[in-house]
Each structure stands twice: as C-alpha cells, then as structure tokens.
Amino acid sequence: MIENKVSLYSYSITKNHVHILAHVDSRESVARMMNLASSVTARNYNRREEKTGAFWEHQYHCTIVETGQHLLNCINYIHLNMVRAGAVQEPAKWAWCSHDEIMEKRSRYKMLDLDRLHGLLGGISAKELHESYCSSISAQISMGNLQRSQQWTEALAVGSKSFIESVSTVYTDRMKLDKKLVSDQTTDQEWAIFEENTPYRARKGGL
C-alpha cells in the first residue's frame, strides 16, 4: 500500500523504465503518484551521479484493466518483462519486481495490497493465487510466449468485450477509438481499446 490512495498490485523496475499495476481513486492520484516517483528518482540519481535534470525521458501511459483473469494476465506480463528482455530466465531471478511479494516470500519492504488483490481476482486465497500465477508464468516461458503485447503497452483499456464497450462510452472526449480482439487463448476472450493513429510515445499524461 502506498500514499495518495493508491493500492499497488504489481511492479517491475527495469534498466530504463518501470511498470506499475495499481488501483487509484481518482485521475489526480495517478498524476501525484507518478510525479512523486519521477521526482524522487531524479533527485536521488542526480545527487549520486552529480547531475541535473529529469531521469525519465518520456511521460507515463495508463491502461485500464478489468478485474479477474485480465488483471492476473497483466501481473504476469509485468513480471515477465525482464525475461522477455533476456536479462533473466524467470521472474524470481529479477530482484526489482514484485514476484517475491506475490509469492509471499518477502518479509521486509512490502508494498503490495494483497488483500485487495485477492478480492479483485475473485476472492481467491493466497494459495490459489500462487498456483494460478506460477502455472501461467511457467506455461508462457516453456511455450516461448514472451513477445511484447500491444495491449499492455499501448491500449486505453483491456478486458472483456462488455468491459471495453463500457469504457468506450466514458472516454468520448478521446480521439477515435478502435476496439480489437487481442487474445483468444484464455478462458475469457481478451479485448482492448486503442486511440487510433496515436503512437505510443506520443501519448502524454494519465487518463
């Protein structure tokens, strides 16, 4: 659990960017959280390296994720980030992600709101989460299913078709929206909604 009314569910810190999965009570909470992370990172890095200026080159991009299986899919994708990059062979080998905390192997510096996460995953127990998570991670690694997925880096929202339809009615102020079926490999089909003709790096700020 972190400040600004944000519940953290997963994260991965890489060499040049971070992935964060969290629940926020308002759009302003996203901005406050990311601004705090950016400013603290830059301040500490600049002090250590005797430099000045911003640490991150680009601003953040937000994707709304439906609860249940889609939420777990996002957690898996985040934890497989450095496996995709070839830095490690499994998430457990990358110390700067929330794998150990998901598996309840960390006794200090805990940040995840696991109680809330269990509820959003259908009220499953810690044991059920561990089994489902480990099974999915192992399957993706063994099948070599590690390619970068557009929905987790560029979409406005990811979830079931009905969820995507409901999100599209809320964000009518955005550019023309494009709904796509992005995966048919899970029990529930996974859909995503994108802002058409807007490159990933051109998207600024939060939702």
Contact of 128 with 67, CB cutoff 8 Å = no
Arithmetic mean of pLDDT over the chain = 85
Angle, alpha carbons 34-99-76 (nearest 5°):
80
Contacts of 108 (CB under 8 A, 6+ apart): none
Average pLDDT over residues 142-146: 90
pTM, 2 dp: 0.84
Write down the pLDDT at residue 125: 95
pLDDT interval class at 2 (50, 70, 90): very low
Query: SS3 of 135, please?
Result: helix
Higher per-residue confidence, 34 vs 143 = 143
Where along the chain do its domains lie?
6-202
Write down the pLDDT at residue 187: 57
Write down the pLDDT at residue 201: 44
**Distance from C-alpha of 42 to C-alpha of 182, rounded to nearest angstrom:** 36
Average pLDDT over residues 25-32: 78
Lowest mean pLDDT among 29-33, 68-72, 141-145: 29-33
Note the pLDDT tens digit of each residue in 56-86.
Answer: 766 788 899 999 999 999 999 999 999 999 9
**Which residues are registered as beta bridge partners of 7?**
23
Number of H helices, E strands in the chain: 8, 6
Name residue, tokens 């439906």.
66
